[in-house]
Chains A and B, each alone.
Chain A
Amino acid sequence: EAQVTQNPRYLITVTGKKLTVTCSQNMNHEYMSWYRQDPGLGLRQIYYSMNVEVTDKGDVPEGYKVSRKEKRNFPLILESPSPNQTSLYFCASNHIGGRTIYGYTFGSGTRLTVV
């Protein structure tokens, strides 16, 4: 089954304790992206990657890091989490090229709480 797998689904952590949210896709998609969803703000892009070793900032990159060492994986790293990073996070992937765009395939989301 074609899917984007995120882990964990729920995470509670303390301020300053480094954490990683994993994301993996099995569709051989070139493009991967991280979004955060906050009430009243919709989804905002954090980082994206167009292919292996190619990453760039989205609209709200502060406090986050990403890496793309393999095509299928795109982890999100919070080196020193703060309470304002409490949010719902989504990983998504998409195929690049051709005129037909099917939209992103999303993971199931990670609910992160930083206390």
Chain B
Amino acid sequence: AQTVTQSQPEMSVQEAETVTLSCTYDTSENNYYLFWYKQPPSRQMILVIRQEAYKQQNATENRFSVNFQKAAKSFSLKISDSQLGDTAMYFCAFMKEDYTGANSKLTFGKGITLSVRP
């Protein structure tokens, strides 16, 4: 079974600064996907960024980028130029690659609450 660990329950960052959220995972699979989801106070689950394990290049989406270390099973999220709207809970998630759908389960970490200070 896969596990996802987010060891920091809360973080705070000053507006316009950079912050990194940590995530580690444990799996025996070689092919899988990793995700970061954002949950603002509205409760909506919003996909921030995703990474395919077979790709060595780190994914980037505007101000959001990841540092994917497959050997270390680490998947951290870096938010540059933090904005007040980035205040939210962030979840790291793992999905095994399985075309049959039998294992399309997303396994989530416990989440981290990020506060952006003005």
Contacts and interface: CB of A to CB of B under 8 A. Distances in A.
- Interface size range of chain B in the complex: 20 to 34
B110 interface: yes
A100 B62 CA distance: 20
Given A43-B91, A101-B95, A106-B45, A96 B110 contact: no
Q: Among A35, A51, A88, A101, find the residue whose CB has the most chain B CB atoms closer than 10 A.
A: A101
Given A33-B105, A45-B105, A101-B50, A40 B43 contact: no
A50 B101 contact: yes
A101 B33 contact: yes
Contact of B91 (A42, A45, A97): A42
- Interface size range of chain A in the complex: 20 to 34
Main secondary structure of the interface of B (DSSP, over half): loop
A103 B94 CA distance: 10
Interface string B1-23: 00010100100000000000000
Given A40-B110, A109-B44, 9 more contacts: A33-B106, A41-B110, A42-B111, A44-B108, A92-B106, A96-B99, A97-B99, A101-B97, A103-B93
Q: Sort A-B residue pairs by CB-CB distance and give the 5 closest, nearest first.
A: A96-B101, A106-B45, A42-B110, A42-B108, A43-B108
